[in-house]
């Protein structure tokens, strides 16, 4: 039986199945990337809810695994060389899971780098820009009189959606026929933008037909439907 007691995070979130990947998360667009990937891969894992209502993400136990106080994070008891591996940043976790299993990523080197390119594009562009748009459109920023910050993020989000739309033309998925971690990184954010943030009209989502098509295909996957609800909110 694997012993994870050296990891302080297990004191707040005890591992009932210490031989499984431990997932510390919440079903947000960054969080579900990892639960969806784990569901797609069929890897055994144990989800733990990190509640923002009680600021779990700033607890000493959570910070011991991720000093950046953000979900998602994982602890894999069977990491490289059979040693436990703790990891945060959703993009890094997706790459790790794809490498560990040899799935959700092309086998050839050029294809792998191309996939990483789109994962990085999501991490550096889509996530931060859509997130700021959410702040200025739905959350505290919506009351600001000066609409220039909001308009800046609307323009940048539309630009990113256009890039994605053009990429998807003639392709079932971001990487063509193969469904990869690039899709798993990007599509939860698109879903969140037009769903939870309610910014579909603002970004004129109707014009991005290819994105809509692929988002529908993504949402229809059983593993995606399951992953979107993990960890269950208390
Ligand atoms: N770049 C990080 C971003 C993670 C992130 O922003 N997580 C948000 C939820 S989607 C969070 O934990 N926020 C809590 C906080 O800021 O206190 C990743 O992709 O893992």
The 10s digit of each residue's pLDDT in 72-108 is 999 999 999 999 999 999 999 999 999 999 999 999 9
Say whether pLDDT at 44 is over 90. Answer: yes
For the CA of 71, the nearest atom of ligand 1:
12
Name all residues whose Cβ lies below 6 A of ligand 1: 28-30, 52, 57, 69-72, 89-91, 123, 127
Distance (Å, rounded) from C-alpha 25 to C-alpha 115? 24
User: Given pLDDT bands bounded at 50, 70 and 90, which one contains residue 2?
Assistant: confident
Please provide the CATH number assigned to the domain covering 9-103.
3.40.30.10
Would you state the pLDDT for residue 90?
98
Q: How large is the average pLDDT for residues 3-21?
A: 97
Report the residue among 24, 29, 30 best suited for mutation to probe ligand 1: largest number of ligand atoms under 8 A from its CB: 30
CATH of 109-221, picked from 3.40.190.120, 1.10.10.10, 3.40.190.10, 1.20.1050.10, is 1.20.1050.10
For the CA of 91, the nearest atom of ligand 1:
19
Would you state the pLDDT for residue 159?
98
Would you state the pLDDT for residue 140?
95
Segment holding 210, helix H or strand E = helix 209-219
What residue's CA is closest to ligand 1, atom 5? 70
Distance (Å, rounded) from C-alpha 149 to C-alpha 146? 7
Would you state the pLDDT for residue 234?
78
- Candidates 22, 123, 99; CA nearest to 64 is 22
Q: Are 95 and 85 in contact (CB under 8 A)?
A: no
Helix (H/G/I), strand (E/B), else coil: 23: strand
* DSSP-derived secondary structure letter, 232: P
Say whether pLDDT at 1 is over 80. Answer: no
CA of 68 to the centre of ligand 1 (A): 9
Q: How large is the average pLDDT for residues 211-229?
A: 98
Q: Are 72 and 231 in contact (CB under 8 A)?
A: no
Q: How large is the average pLDDT for residues 20-35?
A: 98
Delimit the domains of the chain by residue range: 9-103, 109-221
Segment holding 189, helix H or strand E = helix 181-194
Say whether pLDDT at 179 is over 90. Answer: yes
For the CA of 93, the nearest atom of ligand 1:
20
Note the pLDDT tens digit of each residue in 120-164: 999 999 999 999 999 999 999 999 999 999 999 999 999 999 999
């Amino acid at each position: 039986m694997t012993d994870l007691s050296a990891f302080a995070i297990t004191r707040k979130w005890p591992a009932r199945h210490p031989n499984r990947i431990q997932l510390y998360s919440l079903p947000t667009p960054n969080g579900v990337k990892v639960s969806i990937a784990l569901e797609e891969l069929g890897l055994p894992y144990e989800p733990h809810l990190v509640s923002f209502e009680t600021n779990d993400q700033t607890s000493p136990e959570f910070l011991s695994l991720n000093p950046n106080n953000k979900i998602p994070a994982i602890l894999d008891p069977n990491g490289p060389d059979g040693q436990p591996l703790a990891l945060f940043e959703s993009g890094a976790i997706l790459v790790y899971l794809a490498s560990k299993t040899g799935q959700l990523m092309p086998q050839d080197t050029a294809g792998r780098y191309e996939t990483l390119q789109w994962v990085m594009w999501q991490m550096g562009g889509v996530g931060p820009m859509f997130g700021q748009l959410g702040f200025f459109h739905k959350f505290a920023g919506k009351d600001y009189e000066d609409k220039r910050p909001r308009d800046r993020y609307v323009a940048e989000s539309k630009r990113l959606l256009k890039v994605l739309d053009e990429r998807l033309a003639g392709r079932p998925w971001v990487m063509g026929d193969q469904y990869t971690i690039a899709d798993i990184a990007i599509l939860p954010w698109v879903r969140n933008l037009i769903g939870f943030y309610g910014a579909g009209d603002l970004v004129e989502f109707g014009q991005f037909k290819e994105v809509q098509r692929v988002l529908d295909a993504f949402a229809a996957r059983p593993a995606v439907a399951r992953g979107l609800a993990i960890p269950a909110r208390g």
